[in-house]
Structure formats: C-alpha cells, structure tokens
C-alpha cells in the first residue's frame, strides 16, 4: 500500500480507502462486511470512510464493530454529516450548529471512538449560513472530536469560501470528496485547480463508476444476474445513465490496455484517478473480500503518458466534463 498526505496537512492516508456507502447494513450481511474489512486491513488499507446517513446510521455501527481491537492510532476514520438521520425531524438534517453537534456525538458513539480523523460536510447547505457551519466545525476540532475537516461535492466557490473561514477560525479545511472517474470528470475544470491553489486534496468516490468500468456490462447484452444494474432497490437507477451502448463499447476498449499492463479493468480505473496529483485517495467498496484485495492492488501503479493517451483515445469522447452538469449519480447519498 502507498500513502499520501491529505491536503496541506501532515496527515497521511492510504491511497486506497475502504468505503461502506452501498454495502454495510444495507446490501451485505454483517459477517460478510467484517470479512471485507479484514481483507482491507490485510491489504494495508488504513483509511476507512463512512457517513451517518449510510443505512440511516447502521453502517457506522458495522464499521466500528469491525475495527474493534485495532490500534486506533494506526487507522484514519472518516465520517460525514448533512443528510437526514434518525426519524427525519426538522433538525435532523443539514449543516446547522445543532445538527452538526448532535451528529458528531452520535457518530463517535456508533464508531466506538473518541475522535474521527476527518469530519466532512456531506453536501453544501444552502439554508444555513456557512459561517455557522464552519464555526461548529472549529469547535468540534477544538474539542478534539475531529482532527481535520473536509467537505463533499462542494463546488470551487464553496470550497474557497469554506477554506477562508476555516483559516480565520484557526483550523484546516483539507479535503473534498467528489465523484470522479474516467466517465465523470467535472471536477477537473474548476474544483481541482482551486483545490490545488488552496492546499485541498480530493478523496474520490466511485472510481469504477459503480462497476461500469469493470467491463462486466456488455453492449447489447442483458446485465449479469446479481449485478448492480439488476438491483431494483436503487442500484439500477443509479447507473442507468451509463448503461448505453456507446459507453459500454468504449469501456470494452479498455480491456486490451489493462491486459497489456497485467491489470484488471477495475484496477486500471482506480489507478487512473490516482494519477491526478490532487487526488489523495480513491474510495472503494466491496461485497466480497477478494474484491477489496484486487482493488487495493491499484495502489502504487504508475501509468506512463503513452498509456494515459491510449486510455483517452478509447474513453475520452464519452466522458462527462461540464461543471454545469448536476451530480445526478452523486446526489444519492454518496
């Protein structure tokens, strides 16, 4: 496993980050979730990402239980706040001081830890003054409940405003967690340049586009049984935008490149996002231990310029890059 500094800080995280957005306490039984976390640890992964909203708080419980007995100082645990939790009362959502303060305490209890390494605003809250939000984060840092603060899916202007306030309040805003992969590159135009200027890293989710970039979906063919594309509970809708023959055909064109490098297509996709110097880590999930072990092998892979050019010639024409696009796949609690 390779490690990178997160933003302009002294915190190192693993290039591959284990995430439990679509798995723990929702799609995968607890025993299987524990097995994948053990596989992640065995692969050298030290960074784990979750959120209070995943499975309506249950995912944090699963992660906390699975990490019991591990040396806390050897782990980097990330969680998030914003989406509705609990019964969905009037103050059970957003980035108000009330919701943030109550949410951090709940997350720490569920995770079984005194602090999280990174506490993230899961989205931007247009209804709450950003000054209120950042003051609450500053207080959480001073209380020792979070070591660093990050955001998720904030645009360039929002990151700049948050970074300025954080600096004035005496703490560091060091990361943004956006969706980023070969098919979805909207952060490259504005978010990445702004983040590089400010010393903010990207922790990217969906590096394999919810499975599309594995190559398992064939153009003109029905989706494999048991795959996300057949999940009527939500997975099917989530990836429907990419289940078009022109995209699936382009993805198949990545196989010879991956084969030449002795990588799987998933490993190639994860390695591609890690070539961006503003990316500190890529979040991967898994429903089986062998999946996490395979994806972790993308750490440390260096793709030569000629390989990157080959990839671009195959997939570039179908990539979405316009910052004005809404993050429609990402707006589901990612």
Euclidean distance between CA atoms 136 and 100, whole angstroms: 7
SS (H, E, C) 105-171: HHHHHHHCCCCEEEEEECCCCCCCCHHHHHHHHHHHHHCCCEEEEEEECCCHHHHHHHHHHHHHHCC
CB 329 within 8 A of CB 179: yes
| DSSP letters for 224-278 | PTTSGGG-TTTHHHHHGGG-SHHHHHHHHTTHHHHHHTT--HHHHHHHHHHTSTT
CB 208 within 8 A of CB 270: yes
CB 180 within 8 A of CB 309: no
Active-site residue, selected from the candidate residues 54, 119, 180, 217:
54
Active site residue 119: no
* Active site amino acids: 54
């Amino acid at each position: 496993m390779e490690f990178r500094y997160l933003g302009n800080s002294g915190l190192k995280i693993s290039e591959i980050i284990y995430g439990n957005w679509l798995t723990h306490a929702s799609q995968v039984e607890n025993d299987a979730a524990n097995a994948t976390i053990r596989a992640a640890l065995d692969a050298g992964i030290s960074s784990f990402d979750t959120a209070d909203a995943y499975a309506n708080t249950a995912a944090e419980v699963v992660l906390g239980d699975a990490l019991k007995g591990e040396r806390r100082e050897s782990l980097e645990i990330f969680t998030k706040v914003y989406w509705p939790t609990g019964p969905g009362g009037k103050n059970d959502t957003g980035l108000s001081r009330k919701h943030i303060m109550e949410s951090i305490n709940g997350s720490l209890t569920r995770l079984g830890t005194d602090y999280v390494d990174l506490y993230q605003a899961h989205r931007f809250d247009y209804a709450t003054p950003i000054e209120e939000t950042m003051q609450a984060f500053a207080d959480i840092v001073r209380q020792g409940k979070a070591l660093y603060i990050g955001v998720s899916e904030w645009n360039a202007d929002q990151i700049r405003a948050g970074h300025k306030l954080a600096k004035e309040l005496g703490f560091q805003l060091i990361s943004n967690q956006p969706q980023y992969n070969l098919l979805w590159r909207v952060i490259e135009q504005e978010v990445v340049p702004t983040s590089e200027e400010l010393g903010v890293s990207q922790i990217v989710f969906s590096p394999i586009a919810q499975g599309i970039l594995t190559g398992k979906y064939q153009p003109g063919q029905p989706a494999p049984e048991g795959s996300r594309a057949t999940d009527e509970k939500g997975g099917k809708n989530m990836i429907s935008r990419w289940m078009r023959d022109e995209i699936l055909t382009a993805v198949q064109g990545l196989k010879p490149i991956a084969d030449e490098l002795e990588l799987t297509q998933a490993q190639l996709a994860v390695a591609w996002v890690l070539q961006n110097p503003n990316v500190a880590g890529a979040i991967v999930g898994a429903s089986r231990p062998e999946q996490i072990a395979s994806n972790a092998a993308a750490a440390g892979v260096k793709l030569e310029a000629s390989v990157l050019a080959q990839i671009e010639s195959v997939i570039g024409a179908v990539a979405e890059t316009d910052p004005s696009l809404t993050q429609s796949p990402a707006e589901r609690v990612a």
